[in-house]
Chains A and B, each alone.
Chain A
Amino acid sequence: MNGLKRFLLAASLALAALLPAVGLQAKEAADLAADPVAEKRLMEISAELRCLVCQNQTIADSNADLALDLRREIRGMIQQGKSDREILDFMVARYGDFVLYRPPVQSNTALLWFGPLVIFVIGLIVLVRYLRRRSQVIASAPAGLTEAERKQAEALLQSASEPKDSAS
């Protein structure tokens, strides 16, 4: 596993060196080589953050310009020794809670977090009440058949067992 990672790193470095244009990709690869630990943290933090340009991607996944800028910003803050919490707070202060992929539990997200649970409990109550009412109906129904019903059933059974010539 580690060997593979190292191989990939070496391969990407070699590729970066081969590229004549000093593009953004090459620059990112160089940064990656400089400090793999910081880079791993960068990827972990940016996987928690939403890219506001392509909203269903994280900053780690996205190659939008803004995502590159924000990764650069996070890299700078890691180098300054900021904690993960501080970096996430920095982003929330500028872009709002929406930037967090994992919404925080607070008053305005209560419905989001607990709504499904509330609906589940309501469903459970409805189900229990329905089942109780049904068992009451079953319990209160007369146990056996009345004489008239028994005769009717017998007649039906007999007529069903006889071959029907009208069906052809």
Chain B
Amino acid sequence: MNKFLWPLIAFIVLVVLLAIGLNLNPREVPSPLVGKPAPAFALPRLDDPAKTFSPEEMKGKVWLLNVWATWCPSCVQEHPVLVEMAKRNYLPIVGFNWKEVRGDGSLDSKPATQEKEMALAIQRSSKLLAAKGNPYQVVTMDLDGRVAIDYGVYGAPETYLIDKAGVIRLKHIGPITPEVLEKKILPLLVELNK
């Protein structure tokens, strides 16, 4: 073989490797929770904070757990897709409001008590849902983000598809676009509903 061919081959291999590396998204960290039971929790509901919601209640259904907050621009961006999904009745969507008050870096003063924090969180999230439509069957409020840690949440929006047995089958990081819905969520939904 020509000795000038080797550097060329090495160069092409390097370019291919770099091209692959550039097209990977380092923010998409594969979740070890896929294939594992959704962690149990009981969190206050947006519509009535005296009541709690727990994933147990969704046993027997394929459902979506959507992590969001009003301070998260990508969540607002994906909101119309969720509203459309709810309108078409694809599957129940449960909202997981993540650190509505504490997560908002632009908020200067934080409420002093938990009651006040909950009141503010409810006011903020209800306002958004009233204005842009409410795709959620129920919304749970994780004020301090403690439960979110069990789900390995590290940035909103994140969405979990959970099957009838309560096992996480998919974790999508970032907004749900019509493309993600069509290519990732709907095919899996069809399969899980068989």
Across the interface, do A55 and B26 meet the contact criterion of CB distance under 8 Å?
Answer: yes
Q: Interface segment, B27-35, B127-135, B186-194?
A: B27-35
Give the nearest-CB partner of B109 in chain A.
A21
- Measured between C-beta atoms, what is the minimum distance from B120 to chain A in Å? 17
| Residue A98, interface by CB 8 Å | yes
Across the interface, do A96 and B32 meet the contact criterion of CB distance under 8 Å?
Answer: yes
1/0 per residue A39-79: CB within 8 Å of B? 00000000000001101000000000110011001000000
Chain A, interface SS category: helix
Which residues of chain B (113-163) have a CB below 8 Å from chain A? Answer: 144-146, 149-152, 154-155
- What residues on B are CB-neighbors of A92 within 8 Å? 32
Q: How far is the CA of A3 from the CA of B32 in the complex (A)?
A: 45
Across the interface, do A66 and B30 meet the contact criterion of CB distance under 8 Å?
Answer: no
Across the interface, do B154 and A53 meet the contact criterion of CB distance under 8 Å?
Answer: yes
Q: How far is the CA of A55 from the CA of B145 in the complex (A)?
A: 19
- Measured between C-beta atoms, what is the minimum distance from A37 to chain B in Å? 24
Count residues of A near B (Cβ-Cβ below 8 Å): 15
Across the interface, do B150 and A94 meet the contact criterion of CB distance under 8 Å?
Answer: yes
Q: How far is the CA of A97 from the CA of B151 in the complex (A)?
A: 15
Across the interface, do B155 and A52 meet the contact criterion of CB distance under 8 Å?
Answer: yes
Given contacts A52-B29, A52-B154, A66-B154, contact A94 B103 (CB under 8 A): no
The 20 sampled A-B contact pairs (Cβ below 8 Å) are A52-B29, A53-B154, A55-B26, A55-B27, A65-B99, A65-B102, A65-B105, A65-B145, A69-B149, A73-B149, A92-B32, A93-B32, A94-B32, A94-B152, A95-B154, A96-B30, A96-B31, A96-B32, A97-B32, A98-B29
